[in-house]
Amino acid sequence: MKWLVADYAVPQILFIRSVIIVAVAGFMVRRLRHPSILKSAHRGSLVLRAMLMLGAWMAYYSAARHLGLAEITTMYFSAPIIVIFLSILVLKENVGPMRWFACFAGFAGVIVAANPTQSPSLGPTLMVLFAGFCWAWSTVLVRLVSRFESTLNQMMATSFLFAIACGIMLPWVWKSPDLEGWALMLGLGAVSALGQFLLYEGYRHAPASTLAPMEYSGLVWAFLFGYLIWSEIPTVNVVAGAVLIVCSSLLLVWWERRAVLASRRMAA
């Protein structure tokens, strides 16, 4: 996506991405004979979630024009701690002290990486943090709606609304892609469809407050791809923040695994 925003408008990229996801999810819904999303009692939640995600994507990829991949990804991971708060208020999940510790440690890493006292790019930084807030709300709604709707229906509904919203803007932003541009956009759509399916299924089967810090693992890939593709070398504060974030995530994984094993021993 960072490749694409250098040459194409964000609404155009999101439109093509959304059309591909709608096509894939719609085909699978029809094949598996899932109930129509139009008959859902949770259409309002699906529309709200689509609006939140659209705001998150627009802000995130607009900021990507000005920030490195490692920087933007690190600051975007302010979302998990917001998910923790919302999972208590909205989903009524029981959040133990270790989840709180992991998320606060991760958020401290975000602050270190963003370095707000010296950052020359305050505007893009605020856009990324706004994207994280929108993403957190949409994540909680995924968990809430997943109790009643299939993953494929959620994918299709959200991306369909994305396509409509972005399609309205196309007459003013459309730029005919070359062969490489089409290949990148089609690849983005396919990878996004797979990623959405796996993400939604994860939130269907596990508490949002447990899964949210796991997203910090994406930071490693952001560092790797940023270096390999754009030769981006993260600053010291970004690396330090990333270390805090990854360590907090690994700590939570270890703690949750330990709790599962303990409960199994008690049941045996």
Predicted local distance difference test score (pLDDT) of residue 19: 93
Predicted local distance difference test score (pLDDT) of residue 201: 81
Decide if 149 contacts 95 (C-beta within 8 A): no
The CA–CA distances, whole Å, from 218 to 83, 224, 241, 250 equal: 17, 10, 14, 12
Predicted local distance difference test score (pLDDT) of residue 242: 77
Predicted local distance difference test score (pLDDT) of residue 50: 83
Length of the chain: 268
Locus of tokens 């599962």: 260
Q: How many domains are contained in the chain?
A: 1
Predicted local distance difference test score (pLDDT) of residue 119: 55
pLDDT tens string for the chain (268 positions)?
Answer: 666 777 788 888 889 999 999 998 888 877 777 666 656 667 777 788 888 888 887 888 788 777 776 677 767 776 777 777 777 777 676 667 777 787 778 778 777 776 666 655 678 878 888 888 888 888 788 777 777 777 888 888 888 888 998 899 999 989 888 898 899 889 988 988 898 888 778 777 766 656 666 666 666 677 777 777 767 777 788 788 878 877 877 777 677 667 666 776 776 5
Locus of tokens 């709604």: 141
Which residues, 6 or more positions from 148, have their beta carbon under 8 angstroms from its beta carbon?
40, 41, 42
Q: Which domain holds residue 175?
A: 2-267
Q: What is the pTM of this model?
A: 0.69
